[in-house]
């Protein structure tokens, strides 16, 4: 019976998804039903895939970086999981890492490709001179590389990117506004690292990972917060309104 139920739910989810694509007005009118039938189903599917392939993806990334002499550490939610839970956070769907922009080269994409990683999209500020983020795909898992830049104010920073207000996607933001919103995330980073236990292996985090996590997530970062959002605890995040983020989709 459970198998039949799963098949029915999957069929309804796919029907809801394709109907929403063909008739966007239906998606707006029945958004709660669309979320129930497709988005929640798709989220659960991604989570199962992440639990299956997430650790292999991180291991292969570590191998790629190590064998090519590229300095990296875990970042954001992946670093939080490493320190707090010695593994992935249960609801994680992707992997976050830091790479210093001084270690970036035009050949990085080719090096990543040799290990099975495919670049699917990127963001840059000032052609990468002031900001860069890249997302690669491996076995259905996305890994986000946040590049670290020297301080503009007092602290090093990386960038993340959002669609401009009232834009639902990056593509729409690019088409209508000519870019996306870049944000500088300032962090007390130092280019030193340490190994921490992570499931059945070890990975690198910044030497002051605990300080960084408190800075980013607050003093209670060791306690899971189901209400935390990307804009939470953002006193150290600067919206770069005088710059334009450029989104490039390679898919």
pLDDT at 42: 56
Quote the DSSP letter at residue 149: B
112-152 pLDDT, tens digit each: 999 999 999 999 999 999 999 999 999 999 999 999 999 99
Closest of 97, 98, 245, 96 to residue 183, by C-alpha = 245
pLDDT at 234: 65
pLDDT at 170: 97
Cα–Cα dist 75/141, whole Å = 16
Judged against a pLDDT cut of 50, whether residue 2 lies above it is answered with no
Cα–Cα dist 26/31, whole Å = 8
Judged against a pLDDT cut of 60, whether residue 9 lies above it is answered with no
Helices (H) and strands (E) in the chain, counts: 8, 11
- Single pTM value for the model: 0.81
Judged against a pLDDT cut of 90, whether residue 172 lies above it is answered with yes
Quote the DSSP letter at residue 88: -
Mean pLDDT, all residues of the chain: 85
Average the pLDDT over 22-41 and give the result.
53
pLDDT at 223: 85
Q: Which tokens hold the place of 8?
A: 């029915």
Residue 139 near residue 53, CB atoms below 8 Å = yes
193-237 pLDDT, tens digit each: 999 999 999 999 999 999 999 998 888 888 887 766 666 556 789
pLDDT band for 30, please (50, 70, 90 cuts): low
CATH T-level assignment (fold) for domain 54-249 = Beta Polymerase; domain 2 (3.30.460)
73-120 pLDDT, tens digit each: 999 999 999 999 999 988 888 999 999 999 999 999 999 999 999 999
33-58 pLDDT, tens digit each: 555 554 555 566 666 767 778 999 99
Q: Is the dihedral of CA 212, 120, 107, 132 positive or negative?
A: negative
pLDDT at 231: 60
């Amino acid at each position: 019976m459970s198998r039949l139920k799963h098949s029915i739910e999957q069929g309804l989810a796919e029907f809801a998804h394709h109907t929403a694509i063909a008739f966007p007005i239906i998606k707006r009118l029945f958004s709660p039903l669309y979320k129930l039938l497709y988005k929640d189903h798709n989220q659960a599917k991604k989570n199962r895939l992440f639990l299956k392939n997430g650790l292999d993806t991180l291991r292969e990334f570590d191998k790629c970086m190590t064998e090519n002499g590229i300095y990296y550490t875990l970042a954001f939610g992946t670093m939080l999981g490493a320190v707090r839970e010695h593994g992935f956070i249960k609801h994680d769907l992707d992997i976050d890492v830091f790479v210093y922009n001084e270690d970036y080269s035009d050949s990085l994409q080719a090096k990543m490709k040799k290990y099975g990683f495919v670049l699917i999209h990127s963001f840059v500020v000032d052609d990468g001179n002031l900001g860069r983020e890249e997302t690669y795909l491996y076995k259905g898992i996305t890994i986000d590389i946040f590049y670290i830049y020297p301080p503009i104010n007092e602290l090093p920073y990386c960038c993340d990117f959002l669609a401009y207000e009232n834009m639902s996607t990056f593509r729409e933001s690019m088409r209508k506004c000519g870019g996306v919103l870049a944000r500088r995330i300032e962090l007390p980073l130092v280019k030193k690292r340490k190994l921490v236990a992570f499931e059945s292996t070890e990975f690198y985090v910044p030497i002051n990972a605990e300080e960084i996590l408190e800075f980013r997530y607050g003093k209670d970062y060791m306690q899971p917060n189901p209400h935390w959002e990307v804009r939470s605890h953002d006193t150290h995040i600067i919206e770069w309104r005088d710059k334009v983020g450029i989104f490039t989709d390679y898919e």
